[in-house]
Structure 1
Amino acid sequence: MGSLKELVAFITIVMCTSVTMTVAENAMAPTSIGNPNTTVVISNGGSVPMVFHCQSYKVDLGVHTMLPGGSWSFEFKPSDSGNTIYACLFSWRLEFHYFRIYKQSRDQEPAGPFACKRCEWKVSPEGPCQLMKKTGTFSHCPPWDSQSFGNN
């Protein structure tokens, strides 16, 4: 059996290793309490498979296919400068539309009645509809955007 000094040294090494691993695991965690992660959930409200491609200015989330009634989500940390936008191109057979599925000036709490930390959208060829927390319905249905990134 080792001495008390060896036991203290062993416990110190274990504690330092544990702290190092925790810091490494949390490297992607939000750095400011006032700007937590946001989740966007997209559901296919149409009657045919939907192909979609979402991206921000810096992050490309790739092309996905979703069956009717299916859903897909992604999580990110909005920028501290307030300019985060994720835009998606949605297509059903030969029909396609753009929509900014997350626009920080519109969606970040406490921006207004459409603000969300978990932003849920039901998307169909007729348009995107956002889940309203107060009513529990997909009743906020803005028009499609004319382009993926822009001022509209």
Structure 2
Amino acid sequence: MLKVLGTVFLLMSIIVPDKFIVPVQSQQGGRDRWPWRKIVRVQNDLGNGVTLYVHCRSKDDDLGEHYLSNGQYQEWSFGISWIGSTLFWCNVGWNDVKHSFEAYNNGRDYLLCGSQCWRSIKPDGAYFYLERKGHRWVKQYEW
């Protein structure tokens, strides 16, 4: 029985890719709620009409450069890696300020953010929404 399960797992890991990147085009509408999928959102909460530059990527995927007005966000979804190595990082900037942060690190975020991994960029840091830890915002990066 154990040999059969091992063979099934091996076949699944060959057939099923470790992640899928799907840009979410709309700021409204249905959400991807599959348990093995994550939605990451990086939102401009700088205020005062400040435009936020965002450039996010992983080892394999470049999500491109985006310029977000206050309240706008960039959002994408993906399937997590079966080996737990999914990592996305972002470069952000406004005026003469530039920072980088890990928008999604599977080791840190898999159990914290549920399916919705929302990030809020504010003048003093990057805040993460902890969906599974009391539905609260926590400053994860300070600048």
Give the structure with the larger helix fraction.
1
Larger proportion of strand? 2
The equivalent residue for 2:38 is 38
Query: TM-score w.r.t. structure 1 length?
Result: 0.65
CA distance in 1: counterparts of 2:39 and 2:103, whole angstroms: 11
Residues 52 and 64 in structure 1, CA contact (< 8 A), matched pair in contact too: yes
* Contact 1:39 1:119 survives alignment (8 Å): yes
**Aligned 1:1-150 pairs, distance under 5 A:** 36-47=36-47, 48-109=50-111, 114-133=112-131, 135-138=134-137, 140-144=138-142
Contact 2:127 2:141 in 1 (8 A): no
Once residues 35 and 45 of structure 1 are traced to their aligned partners in structure 2, the CA distance between those partners, rounded to angstroms, is 28
**Residue ranges of structure 2 left out of the alignment (5+ in a row):** 1-15, 21-33
Q: Which has the larger radius of gyration?
A: 1
* Distance of aligned partners of 1:70 and 1:97 in 2 relative to their CA distance in 1, 3 Å threshold: same
RCO higher in structure (CA 8 A, sep ≥6): 2
CA distance in structure 2 between the partners assigned to 1:79 and 1:137 by the alignment:
26
The C-alpha deviation readout for 1:94-123, integer Å capped at 9, x for no partner, is 1000000000001113xxxx3422101111
Q: Structure 2: how far apart are the matches of 1:119 and 1:52?
A: 16
**Structure 1 stretch 70-79 or stretch 98-107: which is displaced more?**
70-79
Deviation at 1:136, TM superposition (A): 4.0
In the alignment, structure 1 segments of 5+ residues that lack a partner are: 1-26, 146-152
Give the total of aligned pairs: 112
Q: Is the 8 A contact 2:39 2:116 kept in 1?
A: yes
